[in-house]
Amino acid sequence: MDLKELINLEKALSLIMSKPPVTKISILEKIEIRGTESAGLYDSKTDTIYLTKESINDRFHSVISLAHESRHSYQHSVIKRKNKNKSDYSLREIWEKESNPKNYKYPEKNQKTIEETLEYSCQNIEIDAIAFSLIIAEIIFKKIPGFLEKSKIDSKVYERREKIAKKLNIKAAYRILNKFSETKSYF
């Protein structure tokens, strides 16, 4: 996906979550967090989503990565009480605690799979972002990504996915995503 498509998709995701769009999306060669490569990163200080060139090479990974990082932007808006949708305010304290660099569990160096990064992956803030990206993938691609199969966190993610899905109007979300897509080839 190109930058214009990413910006349009993030605007659509923002409408779905009732949050302001991020200030900037930036594409980098590589993102490394404490020795572990990442496909994306949301920086709340600059309100920027960073994605790697590799993560945007195919539409599926572009959507998953952008939806995941856009959800972190949503979580930040809930933490800062800047979000119109108050339904997730019950998670505000948990997300605030987990997003604090002193408490956040970063993946360890050279860990690549969800199984290897359980401490990181089992944080509520990550489970929520994974669950939201699953919903968006289902809407856009009509399939559930297989990366959670037989994972120890799959039940937590699917439980959160169900809660998010109940709050979202899926038909409206589809219309919003469709409206903002200039190239409908990935719908």
**Is the pLDDT score of 174 beyond 70?**
yes
Beta bridge partners of 109: none
Kindly list the domain boundaries of the chain, sorted by start residue: 3-186
pLDDT digits 0-9 by tens, 29-87? 999 888 778 899 999 999 999 999 999 998 888 999 999 999 999 999 988 876 666 66
Element (H, E) at 166: helix 154-167
Distance between first and last Cα of the chain: 13
Number of C-beta neighbours around residue 151 at 10 A:
16
pLDDT digits 0-9 by tens, 115-171? 667 778 889 999 999 999 989 988 888 766 665 554 566 788 888 988 888 888 777
Cβ atoms of 49 and 22 closer than 8 Å: yes
- List all residues 6 or more positions away from 97 whose beta carbon is below 8 Å from its beta carbon: 103
